[in-house]
Amino acid sequence: MSTSFRPLWLAVPAVLLLAGCGNAAEVAIGEPAEIANGTLTVTEVRQGTAQDVEVLDLEDLQQHTPYFVRYQVAFEEGTPENEQNLSTALWDGEATGGEISPVWVQQLGDVFPCNGVAEVTAGRGEGCQLLMVEPGETLEAVEYAGRARWPVNGS
């Protein structure tokens, strides 16, 4: 009996966090930044292709360019397990123009390699956030919760 898995996804509109606007600490890729309940380190930002995300069937974002943001997170000791996650709605960034759409993907099976925080063990985990950038635009920086900004390619 063969069971096929289909990932669930949800495109989240870009959110302006007015409270954090302009206050994000600028850090280099590979350097940690303070978040509400620990530290977050963006370890890699890679531009993808339409073929990389075709399994998701992103009708509204078909012409957009995917960017894969790989990261490590370390939660503070004592952070309850139900708070050991990163909200897709808090990922944002800057592009040469247009909006950025964070996409939440829940992996079912081994279908898609970028699905938020992977397993958290002893308060630490690694993950991947998918960001979609409008056609013809380039991602210049990644931000999380208005607290940290990681320039991409020296932006």
pLDDT in tens, 4-52: 434 444 444 433 333 334 578 999 999 999 998 999 999 999 999 988 8
Buried/exposed 15-36: b ≥16 CB within 10 Å, e otherwise: bebeebeeebeebebeebbebe
Torsional sign, CA 16, 17, 22, 26? negative
Residue 82 in tokens: 């139900």
pLDDT bucket at 110, cuts 50 / 70 / 90: low
Cβ contact 131:91 at 8 Å: yes
Spatial separation of the C-alpha atoms in residues 151 and 134, rounded to whole Å: 18
The tens digit of pLDDT for each residue in 72-97 reads 999 999 988 888 888 888 999 999 98
pTM score over 0.85: no
Residue 81 in tokens: 């397990």
Cβ contact 28:45 at 8 Å: no
Percent of the chain surpassing pLDDT 90: 50
Mean pLDDT of the chain: 82
Instruction: Locate the domains of the chain by residue range.
Output: 8-17+25-151
pLDDT at site 114: 85
Consecutive H or E run containing 51: helix 50-53
